């Protein structure tokens, strides 16, 4: 049946209905591929057996090597957000004492996890797809299969686990960085004292819970989506480029859509 769908998706006829139908079939077969990689990864994770060294190396690749980028980006983000929010709020209400409280709430519930995930989707997603894609093109993945080692077990599983752990860790760190830069901006530009800024009255346990759910979901989605496009690479260096592009776009879209789903679910569940 899979063959039928793929053949129909490649068919180039039939007006508007044909285009819509073709797009839908492409979407279905892409979704099924994604799902299959996810399920097989989960299977190998559940089966246990893990080489610690491989996991540690992936954690270093995904976590430590993203640290500098994320620190810089989130530092700037904290400043921009407080600056824009302060400038706009001043137009409506002159009192900025709640600026810090609202900022911390927004940061915990959404922004720290989502912006970190968007940056990781570009950095880690592109990295995973480029690495696995190069392996596919140079037939290293086929060699793995020849050795009876499933590439999902050998390549995707360590990245999956490392990404889940490191997305959470990096979100906490980056949240801290943007709180500090936001606090400094509020103090320097709007004369809001750090003591007034550090107001956790609007941050509830439910916000922290949503943040953690987002970390887990993003951390799981990015490696699965990028590994799928890496494994489906074909052709030479052009194919690797295509796979990398697809990984970045699809994992960013996955982050945005998951963000919408989790945020709406949280809004409905906790209010």
Partner 1 sequence: MSTPLVAVAFSPFARARDSFMALAATIGEMGIVALRIMSRLWRLDLDGRELMRNMYKMGVKSLSIVVVTALFTGAIMVVQAAPIVKRYGAQQLLGWGAGFGTLREIGPLLTALMISGRVGANNAAELGTMTVTEQIDALRALAIDPVAFLVVPRFIAMVTTLFLSTLYADALALLGAAYAGQALIGVEPMTFYNGLVSGLLGVGDVMNGLVKSVIFGIVIGLSSCHFGLSVTGGAPGVGRAVNATVVASAAGIFIVDYFVSFILG
What are the residues binding partner 1 (CB under 8 A)? 69, 72-73, 76-77, 79-81, 83-84, 87-88, 91-92, 102, 105-106, 109-110, 118-119, 121-123, 126-127, 129-131, 133-134, 137-138, 236-242, 244-245, 248-249, 252-253, 256-257, 259-260, 263-264, 267-268, 271
Identify whether the C-beta of residue 57 lies closer than 8 Å to the C-beta of residue 176. no
Cβ 49 to partner 1, closest distance in Å?
29
Q: Which is nearer to partner 1, 191 or 271 (CB)?
A: 271
Q: How far is the CB of 94 from partner 1 (least distance, A)?
A: 14
Closest distance to partner 1 from the beta carbon of 134 (Å): 4
What is the C-alpha to C-alpha distance for residues 192 and 188, in angstroms, rounded to an integer?
A: 8
Q: Please, which residue, 127 or 158, has the CB nearer to partner 1? A: 127
For 181, counting Cβ atoms within 10 Å of its Cβ (0-12 exposed, 13-18 middle, 19+ buried), the class is: buried
Number of Cβ within a 10 Å radius of residue 207:
19
Q: How near is the Cβ of 119 to partner 1 at its closest, in Å?
A: 6
* Between 111 and 220, CB nearer to partner 1: 111
Calpha distance 76→69 (Å, rounded): 11
Angle at CA of residue 157, ends 152 and 160, nearest 5°: 125
Nearer to partner 1, 108 or 164 (CB): 108
> What would the DSSP string read from start to end of 33-89?
HHHHHHHHHHHHHHT----HHHHHHHHIIIIIHHHHHHHHHHHHHHHHHHHHHHHHH
Task: Compute the least distance from the CB of residue 240 to partner 1, in Å.
Answer: 5
């Amino acid at each position: 049946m899979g063959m039928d769908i793929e053949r129909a998706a490649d068919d180039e006829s039939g007006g508007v209905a044909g285009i819509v139908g073709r797009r839908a079939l492409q979407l279905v077969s892409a979704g099924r591929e994604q799902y299959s990689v996810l399920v097989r990864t989960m299977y190998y994770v559940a089966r246990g057996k893990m080489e610690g060294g491989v996991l540690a190396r992936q954690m270093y690749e995904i976590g430590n090597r993203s640290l500098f980028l994320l620190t810089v980006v989130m530092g700037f983000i904290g400043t921009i957000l407080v600056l824009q929010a302060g400038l706009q709020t001043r137009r409506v209400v002159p009192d900025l004492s709640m600026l810090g409280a609202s900022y911390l709430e927004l940061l915990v519930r959404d922004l720290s996890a989502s912006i970190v995930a968007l940056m990781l989707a570009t950095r880690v997603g592109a990295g995973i797809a480029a690495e696995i894609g190069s392996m596919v093109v140079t037939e290293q993945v086929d060699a793995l299969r020849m050795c009876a080692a499933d590439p999902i077990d050998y390549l995707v599983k360590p990245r999956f686990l490392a990404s889940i752990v490191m997305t959470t860790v990096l979100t906490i760190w980056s949240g801290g960085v943007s709180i500090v830069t936001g606090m400094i901006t509020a103090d320097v530009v709007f004369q809001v004292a750090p003591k007034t800024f550090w107001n956790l009255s609007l941050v509830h346990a439910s916000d922290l819970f949503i943040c953690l759910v987002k970390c887990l979901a993003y951390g799981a989605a990015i490696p699965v989506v990028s590994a799928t496009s890496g494994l489906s690479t074909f052709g030479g260096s052009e194919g690797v480029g295509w796979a990398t592009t697809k990984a970045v776009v699809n994992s960013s879209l996955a982050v945005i859509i998951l963000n919408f789903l989790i945020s709406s679910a949280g809004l409905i569940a906790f209010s």
